[in-house]
């Protein structure tokens, strides 16, 4: 493991129920768990898929705006509103 490719995590860490994608980074739970064991090529391939997922979730591309929106949706989901 080289660790040169940074994690896409933005500390929202809540999976959307319908898609199974994180409302912060767009990864699945399995992808998040596998991240530390991946080499840079695998991390690059995974990271390349994330913008389309973020878009499909209807979240902003900008990480700061996505964090706010993701946290709001995560709260609603936990409260049973989503």
What are the residue ranges spanned by the domains of the chain? 1-73
Which tokens sit at 71? 């946290």
Query: What pTM was estimated for this model as a whole?
Result: 0.89
CB atoms within 10 A of CB 43: 21
The whole-number pLDDT of residue 57 equals 97
Which tokens sit at 45? 């391939």
Cα gap 20→25, rounded to integer Å = 12
- At a CB cut-off of 8 Å and minimum separation 6, what does 47 contact? 5, 8
CA angle 42, 16, 28 (to 5 degrees): 15
The whole-number pLDDT of residue 81 equals 79
List average pLDDT for each run of 10 residues in the chain, which is 82 residues long.
80 95 97 96 97 97 96 93 70
The whole-number pLDDT of residue 4 equals 83
The whole-number pLDDT of residue 1 equals 47
């Amino acid at each position: 493991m080289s660790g040169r490719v940074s994690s896409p995590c933005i500390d929202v860490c809540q999976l959307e129920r319908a898609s199974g994608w994180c409302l912060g980074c767009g990864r699945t739970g399995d992808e998040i768990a596998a991240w530390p064991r991946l080499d840079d090529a695998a991390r690059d391939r995974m990271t390349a898929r994330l913008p389309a997922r973020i878009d499909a979730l209807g979240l902003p591309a900008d990480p700061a705006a996505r964090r706010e929106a993701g946290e709001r949706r995560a709260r609603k989901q936990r409260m049973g509103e989503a």
